[in-house]
Structure 1
Amino acid sequence: MDFDFTEDQHALRDLVRKFVAREMPKDAVAQWDANGTFPSDLLDKMAEIGLMGASIPEEFGGTGGGVVEETIVLEELARHSSTVALAYGLDVSFGAVTIERHGSDSQKQEFLPQIAGGDVHFALSMTEPNGGTDILGAMKTKAVADGDDYVINGAKIWTTGVNIASWLFVVARTERDPAKLSRGLTVFLVPKDTPGISYRKIEKLGSKFLHSYEVSYDNVRVPKSAIVGEEGRGWHAIIDTLNNERIFVAAVCVGLGQGALDDAVQYAGERNAFGKPIGQFQAVQHPLADSLTEIELARLMTYKASWMQDQGQDCSLPASMAKYFASEAAFRTTDRGMRVLAGYGFAMEYNMQRYYRDIRQLIFAPITNEMGRNFIAQVGLGLPKSY
């Protein structure tokens, strides 16, 4: 087994690290977080150096990488800002992966070069107000055929990134089969400014400059060419995208946890008490050692899942395991970091409180860790379905 990156992957990681240090230092990220404003040119700058096309084939303007390359970029971005990493992931996961694997030839020709160039951005509008994880049972948004068009009516919640998106992936029910709820779902790619779409921002604890919204669809008319994949078989495209989504969120958690650990270790080396750095005390060393171990374990599982998806293997189990463990490891790491920094961890001028706030949502989004463990028990252990 070879656990090392290729030469090109090492170069990509170095490129992202230099970009992060230059374009999104932690003091700048803190200002974006305080102002609640996503930097309008940041994704454009990523596109200029090829990051937006890291997992897009060369024939469509990308650099020909895959999910492993996507994971490298996400982890390095998240070491300074999980919010920026999530914004990147919306484009490369929901956008590039969905269109490359399930889009029509015309959709690939239109959108993949634009994604690589940073010209279009995406948000996934799937979660229903009364649904959460129960996507199939709660789906009430409908799309009804009308001539050469479909008319969409319904409401979504927790549609993240509408403030920077130009297109929305909208999941709606085009028919209902009581015997199999996964049938009859269709994915539409809809311009955000289409008449009938309205949205309201949700105030959040974390990720404060990548906003989440309630979105309403009132007689939104779209052409049949807006369908991604096959009519009524959208669940198959969704599942494929969700596997990639879990890998990308796991990568974000690994990066976030590593960033919090970096800050905690730096503080432990600089802060003196009782005549010595606090990092010399076992009470500080041991929790930091726990975090280092857990983040490394999460990293290994995340890259295994990303490698499996690149190989065309079924990665649903390792992707779920990676998301579950990485988010919990990062959660514990930010908590330990707050304890190491003590009062300074509680001060807004330090970044630890931002890591502490931002990780909270990734425990229950995009899938709750409880549901993730249900899936792991069912698929990994062969136990009866519990939901």
Structure 2
Amino acid sequence: MPTSASADHNELREALRALCAEFPAEYHRSQAAQGSYPAAFIDALTRDGWLAAMIPEEYGGSGLGLTEASIVMEEINRSGGNAGHCHGQMYNMGTLLRHGSDAQKRQYLPKIASGELRLQSMAVTEPTTGTDTTKLKTVAKKQGDKYIVNGQKVWISRIEHSDLMILLARTTPLSEVTRKSHGMSIFIVDLKQALGHGMQINPIKNMVGHETYEVFFDNLEIPAENLIGEEGKGFRYILDGLNAERTLIAAECIGDGYWFIEKARDYAGERVVFDRPIGQNQGVQFPLARAYVNIEAANLMRFEACRRFDAREECGAQANMAKLLAADASWEAGNACLQTHGGFGFAEEYDVERKFKETRLYQVAPISTNLILSYVGEHLLGLPRSF
């Protein structure tokens, strides 16, 4: 099935598809049923360098941009996998690459590129603040050559499959800053040192089997050299990572959308009812055609967001719009695919129900559709702030 970017990055796509073909639907279905982490698949992606796509060549990576990283995420989902198990390394990389010191890059990037270390987790969200990030309550107080961290985070993913974590904490009290976005800082946390030594985690069981946790900090000590960039500027730094995150999630949704449409197209062409393939009926054709159109449109916005990010241009609006368009389009495609399959869409062996649940997440995470609409209303249309 052609796409709006079918002529671009063909060699990249073909190589990814060959690797993903080694892990067929049965593999991902089994992992989802067991609620287990697809370690063999992630190891293969790491071994072949796909998760080091954005690391510069001087540090052992591929030196590619967000555009290529987004294609990696898209192809994983289009193959029937779930890039949510590994996408953190891609967007967390931007924070370290753009704002880390030379010493930090030399220390961490070669080991991340080789697979010796994994940077899969980012701790921002808190149970009482959600996306109202400037009011976060986790604090980091400097004492000599270290910071002491206390607080709580929630929905922090892949901790047990990561060696490093990006942490956002308040280093200056909210009452002492002139702007509420000031006074927050970013740190690299060595998880092996932190777990059981001031940091505790509890798993959160959830609908899509996504490995995510509550995190508790009780006098966790972080070396001062683990501060990324300047103290107090962490909120600005984290926005780079969030723009990358939203764009990569858009790519995953686009991969899901194509998977749903291709799956439904094939089934509709083979399933015969009343002596004709059901795909001959406009009631089946039209929902799939509309879903395809919307996936293609979202795809164009995804690539514009990537282009701007890679060119270091402002891309917040495009990243947010790409995420909204792609999440809506993949959900629409998922609904059409499930409806096309009828009762078989609910059977695990068809994989539709698994992918249906996975793509539903992105109406809510990593930012809800309504908050993106609020962003567009305020920042693009100039309407009064709604929250």
TM-score range, shorter chain: over 0.9
Of 134, 137, 156, 1:136 maps to 134
Shift of 1:48: 2.3
Q: Does structure 1 residue 152 correspond to structure 2 residue 149?
A: yes
Shift of 1:101: 0.5
Give RMSD over aligned pairs.
1.5
Counterpart residue identity of residue 271, structure 1: R
Shift of 1:44: 2.5
| 1:158-307 to 2 correspondences below 5 Å | 158-178=155-175, 179-193=178-192, 194=194, 195-206=197-208, 208=209, 210-307=210-307
Match of residue 78 from structure 2: 79
Q: Any idea what SS the aligned residue of 1:170 has?
A: strand
CA contact (8 A) 2:28 2:81 kept: no
CA contact (8 A) 2:28 2:38 kept: no
Q: Any idea what SS the aligned residue of 1:144 has?
A: strand
CA contact (8 A) 1:176 1:183 kept: no
Q: Which moved more, 1:271-280 or 1:46-55?
A: 46-55
Per the alignment, do residues 174 and 82 of structure 1 end up closer, same or farther by CA in structure 2, a change over 3 Å counting?
Answer: farther
Deviation per CA, 1:28-52, whole angstroms, max 9, x where unpaired?
1000000111122322211222212
Counterpart residue identity of residue 73, structure 1: V
Shift of 1:302: 0.4
Per the alignment, do residues 159 and 4 of structure 1 end up closer, same or farther by CA in structure 2, a change over 3 Å counting?
Answer: closer
Deviation per CA, 1:273-312, whole angstroms, max 9, x where unpaired?
0011111111100001011101111111101110111111
Question: How far apart are the structure 2 equivalents of 1:52 and 1:203?
Answer: 26
Shift of 1:176: 2.1
CA contact (8 A) 1:82 1:256 kept: no
Q: Does structure 1 residue 348 correspond to structure 2 residue 345?
A: no
CA contact (8 A) 2:117 2:164 kept: yes
TM-score, normalization by structure 2 = 0.94
Shift of 1:5: 7.7
Counterpart residue identity of residue 163, structure 1: E
Where in structure 1 do 4 or more consecutive aligned residues deviate above 4 Å?
A: 3-7
Counterpart residue identity of residue 280, structure 1: Q
Match of residue 92 from structure 1: 90
Question: How far apart are the structure 2 equivalents of 1:17 and 1:38?
Answer: 20
Question: How far apart are the structure 1 equivalents of 2:341 and 2:184?
Answer: 48
Unmatched 5+ residue regions in structure 1? none
Shift of 1:6: 8.1
Unmatched 5+ residue regions in structure 2? none
CA contact (8 A) 1:43 1:118 kept: no
